[in-house]
């Protein structure tokens, strides 16, 4: 039975665009199906791009306020949220050019807008068309999760899907959820002049190194964010035009609520059962080759759960594409996955936390370097936070956590070392430009040598005797 395409990609977000673009450039016949009427997905329209653009606007406002610390005195900044969001949308529009329908058509991709579903394991129907392919990649992404809080739906709330469409600035905002989205947007809004309360069921950024997360929390509180850890929102009600949230013994009264409670996969409308594709609690089930339970159908990105980051989605798409088009031999390697939370200070991570490492190994070394001892950080009044590298006694790098200025950039040296299976001495021996923030990596790596030397009293005694002899000979 003839098929229409080599590959049909379902979903025009980060993973889908990578798969469709690369497949077409390899001269495969590719169709890309997207239900939203525009390409780019969550990252471009509702996630990474708009949030980082708003974060930058908020950081500018904060810098202006802090100018007096450097002898630069100005009046308090006048903030216009609609103009700040105008910057956000201009950035989206500029990046959108790379994800335009015209570009993908020029590559040879057939772009189809519409919501469709599988009718069997080799056929997908959309807009009344029955499309058959040798292989499929499902990359339909995810959407914000909701919480069953009594009164929340009736009161109304924001998520990352609509917060960037605000027309007026809320005077007060409650953020429910203290993951990356919650803390990034919470800090941004307080710096733009909104009174912010962050409600966290546990600690903020619970997946991060706890010591690093505390540095972020202290800065957010210094910015004016009221943080309620260990609290859950019990109910919500609208009273005289204000939204009241009861969380434990606290009553929080605000103009708007931003819900940031994680993501759920977009699978409901695909009729995956007809295609023989199983779905678990976190998303579509895949093997190491990113095959679903139907070996002709692959999945990548947020829809499979796991690491929900744009850069991971792109890597997964590349693996799924190779397996789908040729032979399914390539496996996804999650050994070295970095990520960052773009608060101020930034918090970046790769590999294991200290507690995770101690559960797996008995010879753990923790190499920590404060930014307070990095000259470039002091020059920029950013001498707070630290770099923490987790190694074994041999110098094998197990993980790293950096909280401080430009952490999301600086951590890539450690990522490269881990990817190439280099030991921590590679960072120590690498000559760093002075003064740069990246010196924190070499200074942290040096701690392993210092720790071993401090513990080796035999070597210290030997060196002391050697130098004594040499002084005598020199005399």
Range 124-129 average pLDDT: 96
- In the prediction, which pLDDT does 178 show? 96
Residue 278 is classified by DSSP as -
Give the integer Cα–Cα distance in Å for 27 and 219.
Answer: 51
- In the prediction, which pLDDT does 12 show? 96
pLDDT digits (tens, 9 = 90+) for 335-366: 999 999 999 999 999 999 999 999 999 999 99
Give the integer Cα–Cα distance in Å for 19 and 301.
Answer: 11
pTM for this model (two decimals): 0.94
Residue 391 binned pLDDT confidence (cut-offs 50, 70, 90):
very high
Q: If you write DSSP's letter for every residue of 186-200 in order, what string do you get?
A: HHHHHHTT-EEEEE-
Percent of the chain with pLDDT over 70: 100
- In the prediction, which pLDDT does 1 show? 55
Tell me if residue 121 falls in helix, strand or coil. coil
Range 119-148 average pLDDT: 96
pLDDT digits (tens, 9 = 90+) for 232-244: 999 999 999 999 9
- In the prediction, which pLDDT does 133 show? 97
Residues 6+ apart with CB under 8 A from 429: none
Q: Which domains does the chain have, with CATH numbers?
A: 5-144+264-325 (3.50.50.60), 152-261 (3.50.50.60), 345-457 (3.30.390.30)
Q: Is 334's pLDDT higher than 70?
A: yes
Residue 420 binned pLDDT confidence (cut-offs 50, 70, 90):
very high
Range 59-79 average pLDDT: 94
For 364, the token pair is 């753990």
Q: Evaluate whether 173 touches 255 at the Cβ level (below 8 Å).
A: yes
Burial of 430 (0-12, 13-18, 19+ CB in 10 A): middle
Q: Which residue has the tokens 């917060």?
A: 163
Q: Evaluate whether 423 touches 394 at the Cβ level (below 8 Å).
A: yes
């Amino acid at each position: 039975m003839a098929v229409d395409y080599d590959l049909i990609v379902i979903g025009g977000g980060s993973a889908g665009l990578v798969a469709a673009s690369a497949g077409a450039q390899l001269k495969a016949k590719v169709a890309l199906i997207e239900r939203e009427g525009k390409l780019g997905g969550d990252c471009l329209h509702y996630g990474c791009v708009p949030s980082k653009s708003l974060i930058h606007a908020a950081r500018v406002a904060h810098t202006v306020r802090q100018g007096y610390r450097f002898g630069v005195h100005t009046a308090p900044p006048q903030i216009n949220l609609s103009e700040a969001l105008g910057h956000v949308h201009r950035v989206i529009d500029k990046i959108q050019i790379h994800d335009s329908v015209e570009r993908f058509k020029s590559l040879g991709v057939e772009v189809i807008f519409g919501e469709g579903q599988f009718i069997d394991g080799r056929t997908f129907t959309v807009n009344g068309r029955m499309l058959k392919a040798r292989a499929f990649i499902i990359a339909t992404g995810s959407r914000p999760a909701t919480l069953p809080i009594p009164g929340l739906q009736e009161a109304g709330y924001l998520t990352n899907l609509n917060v960037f469409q605000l027309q007026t600035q809320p005077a007060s905002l409650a953020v429910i959820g203290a993951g990356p989205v919650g803390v990034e947007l919470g800090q941004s809004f307080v710096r733009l002049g909104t009174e912010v309360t962050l409600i966290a069921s546990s600690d903020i950024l619970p997946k991060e190194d706890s010591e690093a997360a505390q540095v972020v929390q202290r800065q957010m509180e210094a910015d004016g964010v009221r943080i309620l850890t260990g609290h859950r929102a019990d109910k919500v009600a609208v009273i005289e035009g204000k939204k009241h949230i009861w969380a434990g013994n606290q009553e929080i009264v605000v103009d708007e609520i931003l819900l940031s409670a994680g993501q759920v996969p977009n699978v409901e409308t695909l009729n995956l059962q007809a295609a023989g594709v199983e779905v678990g609690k976190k998303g579509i089930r895949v093997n190491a080759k990113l095959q679903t339970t139907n070996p002709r159908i692959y999945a990548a990105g947020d829809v499979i759960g796991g690491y929900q980051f744009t850069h991971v989605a792109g890597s997964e798409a590349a693996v799924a594409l190779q397996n789908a088009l040729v032979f399914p031999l390539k496996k996804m390697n999650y050994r070295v996955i970095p990520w960052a939370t773009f608060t101020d200070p930034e918090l970046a991570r790769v590999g294991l936390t200290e507690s995770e490492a101690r559960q797996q190994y008995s010879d753990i070394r923790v190499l920590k370097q404060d930014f307070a001892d990095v000259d470039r950080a002091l020059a920029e009044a950013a001498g707070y936070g630290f770099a923490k590298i987790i190694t074994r006694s041999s110098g094998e790098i197990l993980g790293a956590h950096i909280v401080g200025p430009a952490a999301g950039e600086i951590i890539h040296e450690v990522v490269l070392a881990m990817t190439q299976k280099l030991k921590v001495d590679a960072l120590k021996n690498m000559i760093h430009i002075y003064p740069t923030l990246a010196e924190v990596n070499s200074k942290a790596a040096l701690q392993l040598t210092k720790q071993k030397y401090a513990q080796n009293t035999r070597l210290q005694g030997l060196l002391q005797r050697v130098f004594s002899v040499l002084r005598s000979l020199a005399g």
